[in-house]
C-alpha cells in the first residue's frame, strides 16, 4: 500500500524567501528557471518580517493540497511546541485578513500547537502570482498525494496556458513524469478518491488505467484493496482480466461474423435478382467493404450501367 512522507519542519518556497532563518549549509544545486524564483528575486531584498495573530490568517482557496496527513501535522505541531515556528509563513493582505501564499501546513500545525501568533513575511502578490507560487511550492515539496499532484499539474497548465514540457521545466520534472502523473485523472473518480485516502498507491492506480470500463475499474480497485495486493500482483490480475475480455470479444466477433455471412448471402441474392447477374459483397469489418458485380460482355456491361442509371433517375 501507499506510504506518506512525514515529519520535520518542512521547507519549500519559504526557504528561498527567508534564507536568513536557515542555519544549515545549503546544498548547491543546478539552477533551474522557475516562476517562483523570478518572483522571489524581485522582493527578497525588501523582506519585512512581522508577527500576526493566527486567527487573522486564512488558507489560500487555490491551494492544490486538499488533504493534510493528521499524523504528520501532529508530529510537526510537537516540533513547533519544542522549537517554535522556525520558517515564517508567507502571506498577502486580502480585505480584512491575510491569505496564505506558502506555508499552510505550518499554519495548521501551529494552530494545533496552540500558538496565538506566528511569524510571517508579508508580500504584495496578485492572485495569479499567489496561485502560481502555491502550486509550484507544493509540487517542489513532493509530498502531495498522486491525485493532488496530477491536479496541480493540470491547474498549472490550464490556468497559465502552459504546455506539459513547460510545466515540467518549472517544477524540475521530466515531461514524461508530468504526463504519467496526469494520466491518473482519467481514472474513475471513486478510484481517484481511493488514492487520495491512501487505500491504493499511485502504482496500483497506473496499473488500473488499462481497464477502460469505469465500473470494472472500480471493482478491481476494491479487490486490490481488500486483498492487500502489491503493485506487481495488481498488474498481473489486470493483465489476466484484459486477456479474458479479449477472448470474449473474439468469441462475439466470430458469432457476429457468422450471422453477417447469412445476411450478406441474402443481400447478394436480392441484388442478383434485380441486376440479373452474379453479385458478391466483400465486407472488411461489418461497417464497410465493396460490392462486386460480374459481367461477361460489353453489351451486358452497358445493360447494367443503363439499369443503375434508370434506378438513379427514379430515386
Q: What are the catalytic residues?
A: 104
Nearest-angstrom CA–CA distance, 314 and 301: 20
Q: Say if CB 89 and CB 107 are below 8 A apart.
A: yes
Select from 104, 125, 14 the least CA-distant residue to 58.
Answer: 104
**Residues 6 or more apart whose Cβ sits within 8 Å of residue 108:** 68, 73
| Sign of the torsion angle spanned by Cα atoms 172, 178, 181, 182 | positive
Q: Say if CB 123 and CB 101 are below 8 A apart.
A: yes
Torsion of CA 183, 186, 190, 195, to 10 degrees: 0
Ranges of beta strands (E only) in the chain are 49-53, 57-58, 89-94, 97-102, 117-122, 279-283, 289-293
Amino acid at each position: 500500500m501507499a506510504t506518506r512522507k512525514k515529519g520535520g519542519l518542512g521547507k519549500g518556497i519559504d526557504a528561498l524567501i527567508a534564507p536568513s532563518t536557515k542555519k544549515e549549509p545549503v546544498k548547491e544545486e543546478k539552477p533551474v528557471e522557475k516562476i517562483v524564483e523570478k518572483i522571489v528575486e524581485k522582493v527578497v531584498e525588501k523582506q519585512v518580517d512581522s508577527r500576526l495573530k493566527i486567527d487573522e490568517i486564512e488558507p489560500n482557496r487555490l491551494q492544490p493540497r486538499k488533504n493534510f496527513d493528521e499524523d504528520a501535522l501532529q508530529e510537526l505541531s510537537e516540533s513547533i511546541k519544542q522549537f517554535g515556528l522556525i520558517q515564517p509563513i508567507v502571506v498577502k493582505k486580502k480585505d480584512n485578513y491575510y491569505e496564505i501564499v506558502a506555508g499552510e501546513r505550518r499554519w495548521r500545525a501551529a494552530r494545533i500547537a496552540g500558538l496565538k501568533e506566528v511569524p510571517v513575511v508579508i508580500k504584495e502578490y496578485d492572485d495569479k502570482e499567489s496561485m502560481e507560487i502555491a502550486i509550484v511550492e507544493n509540487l517542489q515539496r513532493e509530498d502531495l498525494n498522486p491525485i493532488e499532484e496530477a491536479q496541480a499539474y493540470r491547474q498549472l497548465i490550464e490556468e497559465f496556458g502552459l504546455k506539459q514540457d513547460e510545466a515540467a521545466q518549472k517544477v524540475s520534472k521530466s515531461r514524461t513524469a508530468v504526463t504519467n502523473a496526469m494520466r491518473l485523472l482519467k481514472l474513475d473518480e471513486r478510484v481517484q478518491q481511493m488514492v487520495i485516502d491512501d487505500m491504493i498507491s499511485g502504482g496500483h492506480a497506473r496499473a488500473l488505467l488499462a481497464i477502460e470500463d469505469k465500473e470494472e475499474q472500480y471493482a478491481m480497485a476494491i479487490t486490490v484493496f481488500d486483498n492487500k495486493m502489491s503493485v506487481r500482483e495488481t498488474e498481473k490480475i489486470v493483465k489476466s482480466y484484459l486477456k479474458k475480455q479479449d477472448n470474449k470479444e473474439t468469441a462475439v466477433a466470430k458469432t457476429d461474423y457468422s450471422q453477417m455471412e447469412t445476411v450478406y448471402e441474402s443481400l447478394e441474392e436480392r441484388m442478383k435478382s434485380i441486376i440479373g447477374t452474379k453479385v458478391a459483397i466483400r465486407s472488411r469489418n461489418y461497417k464497410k467493404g465493396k460490392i462486386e458485380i460480374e459481367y461477361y460482355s460489353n453489351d451486358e456491361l452497358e445493360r447494367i450501367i443503363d439499369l443503375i442509371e434508370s434506378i438513379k433517375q427514379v430515386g
